[in-house]
Copies of this chain bind each other. A is one copy, B any other.
Amino acid sequence: MILDDTWFTEVCEDAGSAFSLKINSKLHEEKTDYQTIAIYDTQQYGKLMTIDGLVMLTSRDNFLYHEMLSHPVLFTHDTPGDVLIVGGGDCGTMLEVLKHENVKKVQQVEIDEQVTRLSEKYFPELCVSNNDPRAAFFFEDAIKWVRDAADNCYDVIIVDSTDPIGPAEGLFSKPFYQDCLRVLRPGGIVVQQSESPLIHGDIIKSMVVAMREAGFTNTQSVLFPQSVYPSGWWSATMASAEAPLTQFREGDVRNKPFSTRYYNSDIHRAALSYPEFFAEYIK
């Protein structure tokens, strides 16, 4: 069948596939200095935010992505006191990071302030912790931010970016990872959203190569479902110079004083498991 204009459709050219959501109405659209942001009210997925025609998040299933970008890395680090979020304008990652009591300070550096302003309006459930005194918001180029940052000032860097085209391209490069390594304290870990294991293996592979060339000796991807992204299967990739990435504070996960909808200790371990084709491809 051919879908009419009551559907939002994102085409993934790489995979010759497309994903659509049934729309009740378009609530907002604007062209910022960086990109075009649109907000839709969908029939079954709640609100939908798109940037340049690509799905960023929906109310219904963003918990998968935000939990898996935050909790695995934060429970892998022993004492993640200082956290930097690169991108993350919708504040969903900030919300999850702030659930960790041992986090003392979180800086979110998003290039496009409108992403955050629109999230406050249309995804208020993701912004409920934005007034936490540990949270600080900056609307600047995160590549420059990390380049200018002092040595050894973060424990964890979470790169919650768009795809490696447009403004986010420089975030998938060796110079950026070298800066990350420099600004991380000993034992520090960076984690970055890293596209689909099924259809973007080349991106993950070149990212891992760049991380290793930058001086990170350990890399470990985390795999999880994400129904509104191409292939419905997504990844984040952690990198560290010292910290082992296949162990985590499992007891702390079991006793965590906050709730999650996807993440738990079994899921953490599960997410570290590589399918045969994936292990072969990125080894």
Interface positions of A (Cβ within 8 A of B):
1-5, 7, 9, 11, 14-22, 42-45, 53, 61, 197-199, 225-227, 231-233, 259-264, 266-267, 269-277, 279
Contact = CB atoms under 8 A, between A and B. Distances in A.
A261 B277 CA distance: 5
B21 A16 contact: yes
Q: Pick the most buried of A43, A226, A266: most chain B CB atoms within 10 A of its CB.
A: A266
Given A2-B5, A17-B45, A269 B262 contact: no
Q: Within the oligomer, what is the number of copies of this chain?
A: 2
Contacts of A263: 275-276
Contacts of A42: 16
Given A3-B3, A267-B276, 5 more contacts: A233-B233, A259-B276, A262-B277, A264-B279, A269-B269
A44 B17 contact: yes
Contacts of A272: 266
A275 B264 contact: yes
A69 to B, nearest CB: 15
A1 B2 CA distance: 11
Contacts of A225: 197-198, 225, 231-233
Contacts of A43: 16
Contacts of A2: 2-5, 7, 9
